[in-house]
Structure 1
């Protein structure tokens, strides 16, 4: 799934959406440090109060928020038997029998509780739903039929949410004209911040991929390997940080540790161009060793040896066929995502503006030089431009 696919299904979770139909919602309550289900409940989603529907829809939407390979991970299932997570999810997706669906979801919940225990009470929620995706929006010519054709996508979504103690509050009773301390002992289910969950199956444009599941983490880059491997029976994902680190190791191994900002800016520009080329497609832009060699050549680095790049690629990845996702390598291109941390200052700059920063050396000292288009103002005072390298008269007087 690319970010467009995720965004499309995420935006379906709203009330009075004719394209989304949630059939059943199954909630499981689990006490902290327990492997047993304390309570379970299945209800038709449409019978929930409107406010309760809104709370859950917001919860589902937040589960699918975040960046791919940082908070959302598309996982491939391991080859499993009849009791594998993939088999259970597929059977649950295919059945029309509510009790059979609930039985499969209960088994998934038990599988989770057998694998781990939580430090707080948690609520595990499953829904069975479907959404229709139009192939073309309504036009004047097709006013009677809102869409030429649609694709129906059934899916299962799971969220895991912690509970928290209710707030201690002071209320005012209008009838008795008195201040009262409100005592509430029931735990509050925090639906604003799901700590994990998944969407099955994955979707690519108009097609389902039942061999993959979209896994969501509570905090970016904090993958629960127990959940991935023991509950979903899936392969460990590659994170965005790992892709970026791998790319940097390949470049260092093939060329070295040193380059100027023009080289680095050109390198990022080349990769960003690749990303933008694929923006209107459903393909994920990736880089193999040949692509990395071309990126290094474009960056202006002298004497780039394609054979050394290939060797470095194989040394770092152990697989000549390995591919790196381009979007994981470049920092956010139009944002100040590059941090330069020195003893005297911290500078944030975007990759597209990196070429306006130079490290220069004069009289045995290193300087970070930033090109600016306007005068610099500090505490309301406009700084006087100085010729670079010109000796300050104060230095002469001090010698």
Structure 2
């Protein structure tokens, strides 16, 4: 049984209504459906628009059923669409909220595109977006903008195989539009061997190569969460981690500004410095990261949809249990307000814990996990600065086991 996913549209629902945001599981579930012969992902049409460099003029565009493409081309595009949905939330992927009451709103253009009955109407909607993309942005290379529209299905309840009634799986379905912006590369000169003529020849191909391996940007509309399609939000993909295109977000997509995971992490570290100072015991920092990571892990184990966040009260609690003495609420709140403009801002816990901590010195560079930072000591020995690492195994260098010394 197939059910249409309920759509939360701004004209029908209060904009202040808080919806559950997309999480990495939602994105991963959609990403893995981009594969051949998949009943849960039906791509109906693909629309490619070739745009010339410097002028931003459309040189050519063509639309056709996705299944009419050669299998090799389908494979390349499917990999490209997965790339648009690959990356960490708030670093490479961002769920954006549309700004209300915007003239020529991209939200409305995309919604009309979802509901377009004919290919010509859909193409007209997508060409409007292409026009917005290149109205204020100039590239030094030709680009290709690819749009697809299709139907995404999600199984929400498996049928009972032992039931006499039989029946089908319960499946929710909804239409979507995905966009991918890709650069072109000029083919490199190469020497070829002609098997038929049995001779070596130079490569004389001058046709530009569409680089589908590294999208410049892209988006998925609408956002999906908790078996619902939310047309008030869009999933945006940045070309590089922690480097979202502000112009693309504001002018092209007409969405609100965002804070990257790196910006969140930097602000959090500034608050810590204002509260505990520049010098701190390694155990304290390790405990802080461990407490935050515990919040993230507990959230994942409980399969909560909403990611855990921290306000100044949470920061005060974490510092206290991590071993920082005499932490006062007013002190933390003051530091919070000094660093963050929005008093109601909440840090996403998943953005604050680094995957590894790097200690750089002239002698050596050390990379360790945050939870192991407590095993690192910075000491003075015989008037010299030393980095002491606590380990539980022998140290082997170039096949030789080092002798141990007692300080």
Q: Under a length normalisation based on structure 1, what TM-score does the superposition of the two structures give?
A: 0.92
SS of structure 2 residue aligned to 1:375: coil
CA RMSD of aligned residues (A): 1.6
CA displacement at 1:139 relative to structure 2: 5.3
Aligned residues between the structures: 383
2:78 to 57, 60, 72: 57
Distance 2:143 2:105 in 1: 24
Distance 1:13 1:344 in 2: 48
1:207 match:
228
Contact 1:81 1:87 in 2 (8 A): no
* Range with greater deviation from structure 2 (249-258 or 164-173): 164-173
Residue 351 in structure 1 maps to residue 370 in structure 2: yes
- Spell out the pairing of 1:10-159 with structure 2 (5 A cutoff): 10-137=31-158, 140-141=161-162, 144-147=166-169, 149-159=170-180
Query: Aligned in 2, Cα 1:90/1:142: closer, same or farther, shift over 3 Å?
Result: farther
Distance 1:261 1:142 in 2: 59
2:339 to 311, 316, 336: 316
* Range with greater deviation from structure 2 (168-177 or 277-286): 168-177
Contact 2:102 2:254 in 1 (8 A): no
Distance 2:188 2:278 in 1: 53
Query: Aligned in 2, Cα 1:242/1:21: closer, same or farther, shift over 3 Å?
Result: same
CA displacement at 1:366 relative to structure 2: 2.5
Residue 237 in structure 1 maps to residue 268 in structure 2: no
SS of structure 2 residue aligned to 1:123: strand
2:209 match:
188
* Range with greater deviation from structure 2 (9-18 or 204-213): 204-213
Contact 2:145 2:182 in 1 (8 A): yes
Residue 171 in structure 1 maps to residue 192 in structure 2: yes
SS of structure 1 residue aligned to 2:135: helix
SS of structure 1 residue aligned to 2:126: helix
Contact 2:48 2:61 in 1 (8 A): yes
1:378 match:
397
Q: 1:147-197 CA deviation, whole Å, 9 max, x = no partner?
A: 1x1111211111011111123333333333323333212111111111111
CA displacement at 1:80 relative to structure 2: 2.8
* Range with greater deviation from structure 2 (137-146 or 348-357): 137-146
Query: Aligned in 2, Cα 1:319/1:226: closer, same or farther, shift over 3 Å?
Result: closer
Distance 1:357 1:66 in 2: 31
2:325 match:
302
CA displacement at 1:26 relative to structure 2: 0.8
CA displacement at 1:343 relative to structure 2: 2.0
1:274 match:
295
Contact 2:95 2:236 in 1 (8 A): yes
2:275 match:
254
Structure 1 alignment gaps of length 5 or more:
389-399
1:369 match:
388
SS of structure 2 residue aligned to 1:339: strand
2:316 to 273, 293, 296: 293
* Range with greater deviation from structure 2 (101-110 or 180-189): 180-189
CA displacement at 1:321 relative to structure 2: 1.2
SS of structure 2 residue aligned to 1:59: helix
* Range with greater deviation from structure 2 (274-283 or 72-81): 72-81
Contact 2:52 2:142 in 1 (8 A): yes
Q: Under a length normalisation based on structure 2, what TM-score does the superposition of the two structures give?
A: 0.90
SS of structure 1 residue aligned to 2:73: helix
Contact 1:360 1:366 in 2 (8 A): yes
Distance 2:364 2:351 in 1: 27
1:393 match:
none
Residue 198 in structure 1 maps to residue 227 in structure 2: no
SS of structure 1 residue aligned to 2:182: strand
1:391 match:
none
CA displacement at 1:71 relative to structure 2: 1.1
SS of structure 2 residue aligned to 1:237: coil
Distance 2:122 2:137 in 1: 23
Query: Aligned in 2, Cα 1:176/1:237: closer, same or farther, shift over 3 Å?
Result: same
